[in-house]
Structure formats: structure tokens, C-alpha cells
A and B are shown apart, each in its own frame.
Chain A
């Protein structure tokens, strides 16, 4: 009979899962991957995907998703953040497809959605709506059940007829039904899921408590003469369900707000844009946008790609991308960047870069890795959660047994209070909530945090080491003097320098290339330096310079077959004045020319150094420049500890020496030439807008290149750690004090629910204090200089 039945049911059941499989298999098209994934640099065929998980409640959920996904062959690494519900999955396209690991996640009870997918947002809205509805049902029923319970509390024995008492119990039971069947569903679903997967989660004790209270009270209603007939606890039940739901709901809203700044960046691009076609304008999905398209961007909309304004005039807000907080004027011919906001006028933009090629996409990738990264303190809390939960279940059982002689109903309620009051949610929220709030606030001020652990490292720093060029000084230099070998013309020196410099990302090279271009333009020379002839080998040597070699059997440029560009040592330059920053040029026969550069200190550098010193931090300068030039800059800034002529290895050794003395070192550099040094520091900062974010090794990036943000970030990180410690301390004190109270029977179940909700809320509220933006001082932005 059963067999026939299920066979009949099959045809109607099959299409539903198939359609969701179909939706997933759409994601297996490699073209769709770019929406939510990035090719992983290190290994070929590996992708890093960002996804949002539905149905997550706590840190234990994050762990079970990670476990489920790791079992899928081809999934290389998984990181899931309990606080942001986001995950980062590295997988190999040769072994698996997104649909496979998404199904694995769904089988574990959590639906994975591509993070940049539009309907992820719609789902969240529906989830939030259902949450409001659950809270409302619980709240309304709670109030009415309380009314029915009041007579039992105030009446003297004998005041109420047994009939009346029975009627009130029945009414309470009827109104508790929707609470248990509907409002409690998320708790039961999560607990059931845990049981089926043979693991233990934070909702399990709570669900047992709810079910226990309801069963005991129902027995009391149906059998007033039975062992549980003395009292019913519908009022306690509805009340703690309401408090728990209320707590969850507010936590959800606040988490949205703390993670909001990150979300604001990640979900910034519009879903569709208006593109110009031969006939007029058509609306197309942003994924169909191609390089060369002209799109219309209205005030209030975000720019869909990097490009150039072709008509119109407006102001744009690039604060999230460059840290420049003032609106910037843009008109025909100006460059605009993806993710910035059009503020005032309608513009038409020719798209030059889309998708992952844009700077915006790099920022999003960085932010997502930050929000999925678990700080060490949070991992510790997660690991402790499981043994703690087992302890709670044992303690509740022991309490029920100990209190049984005093009355079965009362014993059950003591156990329920223990189960409800001890949920370690606050403990597991303590660290990520605070750190995410800070990361969001920093992001809004133009400081990107690559991983949350960096905030902890930063707060412990006692020594700050600065690179000089492009860090303490501005990235723009001017050539003060050009010395060259007598047989070389000035023009040729400039041409060779430009050719060498344009392949380097070093700020000095960039400045010289720009100046050489300007010089040619003023003299009416050709527009562009001819590209390198076929076969030349150009390579950059970090910390030294650039070399270019002609292939065997070729004549080279004007007879020069091997060129070097960089430090005096690299080019065997004769000892000239050591006063100034300089860069030299050489060929195979030796030194050719030296450009001496004038450099300007960043206007805010002196104030920042002073402020750091006042905070008790040691400040040092390590630079590859000539010692005299370094000394001059250090002296101007009041830094006594400085070293010049350091190779990257020297810098790294100096750093390691400091670390061996027990110092915690923050390194500040331009992020391009000092990769190993940045990676070796406890925490590292990179400055600058031109930085290729995905390549930089820095833990934090100061997007606007303003040094004063460094000091504020340090201050904020210390404050973050203070708040994390407060949160952890509070949750420990809360659990340590409430468990004994509950075990003694002094804490009624409703108060346990209230306490639990309040402890989580307090943690999130405390973290919310960190979400205000950094105070931006009135120092004029240096980017303009």
C-alpha cells in the first residue's frame, strides 16, 4: 500500500527538486563563474567562490558547513563566517562543479547562494519578513497567555472553581499551539538537523527546553489529576520563546548593520544598465556589458564599470574606492571607476573595463576574504562551544533528577531554565561581531582590512617601521638635476629612462616616466616611446631596479644591448652627491646617467609620527635610499632611529631582529617593492591608490594614501580588542553566574530566555559602538598634491 502510494506520488514530486538542480546546474557554466568567483592565482584550474548561506544560526553551523563541503572531492579549502553568513570556497574546476558542492551544503541543511547573485538579496528579505512574522505571533500569543495565567498567580486557593482553572489552561494551550508549531520552528528545524547529522548545535538545548515545557504543560492541561497537573507553564514557554526570537531578530538587524558597510561595497553594482544601441537605448543585464559599450548613468546610480565620460557633467562619490570623501567633479573625457556613485547629473560613459578586471572587483574580493576569515579568538570560542553544550545537556539532566522529588513539573522547568540560559551564542558572537563592525567602519573610511586577525595584531604593535619613498614622502617627485656621461645626450638619457621606467611600478619610476612624457609633449616630440624591439627581456628586481637585455644576435638600441635602471649600486654609478634621492641608468659598458630627485614630505607625516610617539610607540625608518637622504627625512620628522641603503633582505633582517627582541612590528610601505618585508611584519600597511590590490601582501591598505588614517586605524584596533575582551568577559561572567542560579531553581524559564537574548544583544550592541566612521581630520587630502 505504501509502495503504491509513493509510486503515485513520484511524478508530481520529481519536477520540484529537478528545477532546483537545474538552477544549480546553470552555475556550472564557466561563464557564470565570474559572477561569484575569481580564478585562484596560485594553482591553475582553481577558483575562489563567495557564497551566502541560508539557515545559519551559530558558530556550530559554520563548522558543520565547512565539514560538509570539505568532504566534496575537488574542494580545496572552505572558510565560513558565522557572523556574516558568508563563505569562501576554493575548488578545482577539474574535479568538481559549483552545483556539486552547493548540493553538499544543501544536504547538510544549508542552502548556498552565489554571493553576487541578485536573488540572494530577495531571499534575505523574505527571511527577514518571516522572522518578523514569527516574532509577532509569539509576542501576541505571549500577551494573551499571560492574561490567562494571571488569575492563577493572584487567586487565593479556593477562589477559582476547578472548571474556570481548566478553561484558562485550555485557552492557554490553544494560544501556545501557534507559538510552538510556527514560531519555534527555526529552533526545532535546526535541532532536528543537528540530530540527523549526529552532532550538537546551539539550538538543540533550546529546542529540548521548548518541547519539554510544552509537553509538561499539555499533560497538566489534559490530566489535571496526573503527576504534572499541579501547574502549567504556558506563560513561561511563550515568554522565553518571544524573548529568544526577539533577541535573534534584533541581532539579525544589527548584524546587517555592522556588516552593512561591507555589504554596501559588495552589492554596489546595479543589476542592469541602459546601453546605447544603433536604435536607441536598451536595458541589459550587467553581465552582458562589454568593453566599448556606452551606457547611461543617472544620478543616484552606481557606475557599472571603469570607463570614460563621453557626455554630460556630474559629481561622483568615490569614497569607498579611494577614500576620497569629497564629491569629485567629472565631465566629458574624465575617467570614472566602477562602484562609484553618480551624484548629480546624467552622464554617458564608455566602458573600458568590466567584471573582475575593475579595481572595484579587486576590492570586493579582498573584502569578502576579510569577512570570511576567522580570527584566532573566534576559533577558540567555536572549539569550546561543543564540549560546553554537552556539559549543558548533562547539567540539565542532573538538575531534573535532583529536583524530581520536589515535584515532576518543577524539576522539568529547572532543567529547561538551565538549557535555555546557557546558549553560548554570546560567546561565539563576541569576537567576530566586534571585528566585523570595525572592518566595516574602516572600509567606509578607505582602509581595507585583508583579514580580521590583523586587527588583533595591530592592537599589540609597539614599533612602527616606515619605508621612506612614497610612504613618508609623496609619490610625486620632480627631477632636480640630471648628471650624465659626456658622450650621452640629455635627450637620449630621458628617452632611455622613460623606456625603462614605464615598465616599473616603483613610485620613482612612475614619476620619471610621467615627467619624461611631459617633457616630450612640451618639446613637440613624438607621442609615444616606441615599444621594446622583439625579443628584449625586461625584468624588475625588487629593491634594486629594472634590467633589459637584447636577445642574442640583435644589435640592440643604438648599440646598447643591456640596460639597467635603478639604485646607484645596481648601476655602478660613481659616488655623486648623496644628499638627494637618485636613480641611475647604465648599459653594459657602465654608468650612463643619474637623475636626482626632489622629494616632498607628506604634509601629515610629521603629525602622525609625533602622535605615534606620544602613544609610546617606537618609530623607525628603513629605506633603500642613500643614508644621507634618509637621515634628512628622518630628522625633519623627529625620528632618531633610521637606516638607509637597505636591500629588501636587510629590511627583513632588521625586522626579524626587532621581533626577536620581543617587539611587535607594524610595517608601512608602498606595497609594491617591499612584499617580503610586509609579509614578515606582524601587521603591514600599504599605501596608495595605484596599488594592484590582489598582488599586494599587506594586511591593510590605506586607499587614500593618507598617513593620518594609520594612527586612527591603530586607535580603532585597540578599541576593538578592548570591546572583544569586554564581550568575552561578559559572556563568560553571564554563563558562569546564570548556570548556578538556574541549577538552584532560582531562575525561572522566562527569565532564562530574557537573559540569553539580552546577553547576545549586549554583545552585538557593544560591537555596534565600533561601527562609526573614523574621524577624518581637516588635513587637506594629499592626493591632490
Chain B
């Protein structure tokens, strides 16, 4: 079970990494308009 002493800190680091990715996504406007992106394929232009 000693491996947990490595894995738990690692999981904390992983969460921060994912948060970083999420930050990028939110601030690039990925969640701004969720509906419109799905509907865009149905439009002609």
C-alpha cells in the first residue's frame, strides 16, 4: 500500500493539470454558446 503515498499526491497534481486545461477551455469561450454549435451543422451557410 506504500504506493498510495505516491499516487495520492500524483492525483492532486493531476487535478491541477485538468483544472489548467479547463481554464483554457472556459477562457477560450468553449462553453459560451453550447446550443448554437450543435445547430450550426443544420444551417446552410
Question: Could you tell me which A residues sit within 8 Å of B by CB distance?
Answer: 125, 128-129, 132-133, 136-137, 140-141, 144, 147-148, 163-164, 167-168, 171, 174-175, 178
Contacts and interface: CB of A to CB of B under 8 A. Distances in A.
Contacts of A175: 12, 15
Contact of A129 (B8, B22, B26): B26
B8 A148 contact: yes
Given A129-B26, A167-B4, A140 B18 contact: yes
Interface in B1-45: 1, 4-5, 8-9, 11-12, 15, 18-19, 22-23, 26-27, 29, 31-32
Contact of B23 (A133, A141, A148, A174): A133
A175 B15 CA distance: 8
A349 B9 CA distance: 67
B10 to A, nearest CB: 10
A141 B15 contact: yes
Contact of B22 (A136, A144, A163): A136
Nearest to A144: B15
A397 to B, nearest CB: 35
Contact of B19 (A125, A140, A164, A168): A140
Nearest to B26: A133
Interface of B: 1, 4-5, 8-9, 11-12, 15, 18-19, 22-23, 26-27, 29, 31-32
A133 B8 CA distance: 25
**Closest 3 interchain pairs by CB?**
A133-B26, A144-B15, A136-B22
Contact of A171 (B11, B19, B22, B29): B11
A125 B32 contact: yes
A84 B32 CA distance: 21
A167 B32 contact: no
Contacts of B32: 125, 128-129
A168 B8 CA distance: 8
At the interface, is chain B mostly helix, strand, loop or mixed? Answer: helix
Nearest to A178: B19
Contacts of A148: 8
Contact of B27 (A128, A133, A147): A133
Nearest to A163: B5
B1 A164 contact: yes
B4 A144 contact: no
5 contacts: A128-B32, A132-B26, A137-B22, A163-B5, A171-B9
A704 to B, nearest CB: 30
Nearest to A126: B27
Nearest to A168: B8
Contacts of A132: 26, 31
Nearest to B8: A171
Nearest to A160: B1
A128 B26 CA distance: 10
A167 B2 CA distance: 12
B27 A140 contact: no
Contacts of B19: 136-137, 140-141, 178
B29 A129 contact: yes
A175 B18 CA distance: 12
A140 B22 contact: yes
A690 B19 CA distance: 57
B41 to A, nearest CB: 19
A171 to B, nearest CB: 5
Contacts of B12: 144, 171, 174-175
B44 to A, nearest CB: 13
Nearest to A164: B4
Nearest to A148: B8
Contacts of B8: 148, 167-168, 171
Contacts of A167: 4-5, 8
Contacts of A147: 11
Contacts of B31: 129, 132
A175 B1 CA distance: 22
A132 B19 CA distance: 12
A168 B11 CA distance: 11
Contacts of B18: 140
B2 to A, nearest CB: 10
Nearest to A136: B22
A174 B19 CA distance: 14
Q: Which of B4, B8, B23, B27 has the largest number of chain A CB atoms within 10 A?
A: B8
A742 to B, nearest CB: 31
A144 B11 contact: yes
A136 B26 contact: yes
Contacts of A164: 1, 4
B18 to A, nearest CB: 6
A688 to B, nearest CB: 38
Nearest to B1: A164
Contacts of B11: 144, 147, 171
B1 A129 contact: no
A746 B1 CA distance: 36
A764 B23 CA distance: 29
Nearest to B14: A144
A254 to B, nearest CB: 14
Contacts of A129: 26-27, 29, 31-32
A83 B8 CA distance: 44
A766 B1 CA distance: 51
A141 B9 CA distance: 14
Nearest to B15: A144
A144 B10 CA distance: 12
A174 B12 CA distance: 8
A125 B26 CA distance: 12
A161 B4 CA distance: 12
Contacts of A171: 8-9, 11-12
A139 B33 CA distance: 20
A259 to B, nearest CB: 18
Contacts of A140: 15, 18-19, 22
Given A128-B32, A175-B12, 14 more contacts: A129-B27, A129-B29, A132-B31, A133-B22, A133-B23, A137-B22, A141-B15, A144-B15, A164-B4, A167-B4, A171-B9, A171-B11, A171-B12, A174-B12
Contacts of A137: 19, 22
A636 B33 CA distance: 54
A147 B31 CA distance: 27
B30 to A, nearest CB: 9
Contacts of B29: 129
Contacts of B15: 140-141, 144, 175
A163 B5 CA distance: 9
Nearest to B28: A129
Nearest to A145: B15
